[in-house]
Copies of this chain bind each other. A is one copy, B any other.
Amino acid sequence: MKATVIGGSGYIGGELVRLLLQHPEVTLSQVTSTRLAGRALHTAHPNLRSQTDLLFTAHTDAAACDVLFLALPHGVAMREFERWSKLAPVIIDLGADFRLRDPADYATYYNVAHPCPEWLTRFVYGAPELYREQLREAHYIAVPGCMANAAILALYPLSAADRLSGEVVVDARTGSSGSGSEPNLASHHAERSGVMRVFKPIEHRHTAEIRQICTTPVYMTATAVEAVRGVQVICHVRLAEPMTEKELWMSYRRVYGAEPFIRLVKQRTGLYRLPEPKILSGTNFCDIGFALAADGRHLVIVAALDNLVKGGAGNAVQCLNIAAGWDERAGLHFAGLHPI
């Protein structure tokens, strides 16, 4: 199957290229970049040295292919979607442009009038753990936001079973790669280094995605911490009825027991008792754990993932694997490093 990556010079695009180059069923035929057209891929992604001879091509030179990945800044894919839609029967968008079902949400959260709202309902939200069946038939897939994906995976088993009551507080922490490859003062090393920067104390855009699957009110705080890769969310929820730890385990196992990329992590001892993003770098895992207060009602759920993989490119590949009918793990076998 021939794949093209539109917008391959950014971090999500680069991660996609890394994964597709080692995918047993995919041939990467084109990677586009307006800025770097004509230059080698390793110009932007030094880890690809000696891995490929491909050069970046211009967006305008994108040819027909079997699957088209869009890894463009928010707001760009939606503006020319008709054009992209003609290039391939399967389109997987890694930006935010088709994640929200309600066009009005784009005005609220992204301050933009969606130019092609008729496409929104044709996209399947690329969360395999929630929408695997729909993804099997999907032609248009919108890959979730990194923090949204972690929070959704943390909350879904309880939310779907209607176990939550009252407010959900999501405290999200993220590494610097989440804000992309464009330098600015916020990403300047001397400023960004060692921060605990509450860059969005309330109403982060990813809240809109979480609200699509969570019926109770959601408040989300986003903090940049010292890391390059990695997202972790801490969800404080209130259970409608008291539960025991065992019941919680069963709730999560029932939903995720057969999932290839969800691991329940909740140990009594050791340093990695709860999900830790750093050991997930490069992997497609989302680790999930929890702690329950003595009252059986206040619950803290912790989820972690690599924002560029399970929070982006890896999740996109998993979606493709499902849509194409391949082994869902194809190209996603990396186990992660320790120590790191």
Contacts and interface: CB of A to CB of B under 8 A. Distances in A.
Nearest to A290: B201
Contacts of A43: 270
- The residue among A219, A271, A282, A302 with the most chain B CB atoms within 10 A of its own CB is A271
Contact of A227 (B45, B46, B196, B290): B196
Interface string A182-210: 11111111111111111001110000000
Interface string A298-340: 1010101000000000000000000000000000011111111
B337 A229 contact: yes
A161 B193 CA distance: 38
A39 to B, nearest CB: 10
- The residue among A173, A188, A223, A302 with the most chain B CB atoms within 10 A of its own CB is A188
Nearest to A43: B270
B190 A51 contact: no
A251 interface: no
A229 B46 contact: no
What is the interface residue range for chain A against chain B?
35 or more
Contacts of A300: 198, 201-202, 219, 221
Given A196-B225, A338-B14, A190 B167 contact: no
Contacts of A292: 202
**Protomer copies:** 4
Contacts of A230: 194, 196
Interface string A68-81: 00000000000000
Contact of A46 (B48, B234, B279): B279
- The residue among A22, A167, A190, A293 with the most chain B CB atoms within 10 A of its own CB is A190
A147 B278 CA distance: 24
A189 B228 contact: yes
A27 interface: no
A193 B22 CA distance: 26
B339 A191 contact: yes
A203 B173 CA distance: 21
Given A22-B335, A336-B47, A228 B171 contact: no
Given A176-B339, A197-B274, A225-B226, 14 more contacts: A11-B190, A22-B333, A46-B279, A47-B336, A48-B335, A167-B298, A181-B190, A183-B185, A189-B193, A201-B290, A201-B291, A202-B291, A202-B293, A203-B294
7 contacts: A14-B338, A22-B333, A173-B196, A187-B190, A195-B278, A196-B304, A202-B291
Identify the 4 closest CB pairs spanning chains A and B, nearest first: A201-B291, A226-B226, A190-B339, A46-B272
